[in-house]
């Protein structure tokens, strides 16, 4: 609006001092400039809407590297599913924690598991955290008999060695990333073994 008013005032002055022909040419130039300015602003905001992440920090899942990796394990082959924690802010995150809440069905009564703590992520950076692993089997080795949650060592704690061994079936749970008791992101997930004996991790609704 200010640009249009300024253009009209300028054209009026030119009309009075230099004549109508010059004023008409100047009018076209000024109106074109004003129109360009008016159009640029909505386009800029539309671009911002589609390029700015919806969350300041988000948990991201996928189906290829680094979300799924396969490594040799002796004569067997182990598949690891991972989540990426993406920091979309200009501030470093310290003391981050990724954990599972409300595992369904529970594992011997346990529903909550810490996957990783003391996570540090720089501005606009990310961290990739392992969630679970499974022996897929080879021509020389059988497929695994459980899904293994990737958790810190339980040495020195009153937990069995199979605390993080889940039966071969689908499990749903909340995957939560937090720091200093502030929850940054939470997604509802499921992992399962498909018909090809491949461990999969996906968002679940």
pLDDT digits (tens, 9 = 90+) for 3-32: 555 555 555 555 556 555 554 565 555 556
Q: How far is CA 14 from CA 3, 7, 21, 107, in A?
A: 16, 11, 10, 83
How many whole angstroms from its chain centre is CA 78?
A: 25
Q: What is the per-residue pLDDT for 81?
A: 98
Q: How far apart, in whole angstroms, are the C-alpha atoms of residue 185 and residue 57?
A: 6
CA 157 to each of CA 74, 103, 116, 147, 152: distance values in angstroms, whole numbers, following the listed order: 28, 21, 16, 21, 11
Q: How confident is the model at residue 163 (pLDDT cuts 50, 70, 90)?
A: confident
Tokens of 162: 């199979």
Maximal C-alpha separation, the chain: 95
For the cut 50, the answer to whether the pLDDT of residue 48 exceeds it is no
Cβ neighbourhood burial of 81 (10 Å; 0-12, 13-18, 19+): buried
Interval 96-113 mean pLDDT = 95
- Neighbouring CB atoms inside 10 A of 122's CB total 12
> Of 183 and 15, which is predicted with more confidence?
183
Task: Report the pLDDT averaged over residues 71-94.
Answer: 96
Over residues 177-194, mean pLDDT: 95
What value does the mean pLDDT take over residues 66-84?
A: 95
């Amino acid at each position: 609006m200010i640009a249009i008013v300024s253009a009209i005032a300028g054209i009026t002055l030119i009309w009075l001092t230099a004549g109508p022909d010059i004023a008409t040419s100047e009018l076209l130039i000024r109106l074109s400039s004003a129109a360009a300015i008016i159009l640029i602003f909505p386009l800029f905001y539309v671009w911002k809407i589609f390029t700015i992440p919806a969350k300041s920090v988000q948990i991201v899942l996928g189906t290829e590297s680094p979300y799924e990796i396969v490594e040799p394990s002796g004569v067997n082959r182990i598949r690891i599913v991972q989540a990426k924690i993406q920091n979309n802010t200009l501030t470093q995150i310290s003391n981050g924690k990724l954990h599972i809440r409300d595992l369904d069905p529970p594992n011997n009564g346990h529903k909550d598991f810490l996957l990783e703590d003391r996570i540090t992520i720089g501005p606009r950076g990310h961290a990739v955290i392992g969630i679970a692993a499974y022996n897929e089997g080879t021509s020389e080795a059988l497929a695994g008999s459980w899904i293994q949650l990737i958790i810190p060592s339980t040495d020195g704690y009153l937990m069995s060695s199979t605390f993080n061994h889940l039966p071969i079936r689908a499990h749903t749970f909340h995957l939560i990333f937090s720091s200093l008791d502030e929850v940054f992101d939470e997604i509802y997930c499921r992992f399962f073994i498909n018909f090809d004996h491949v461990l999969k991790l996906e968002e679940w609704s």
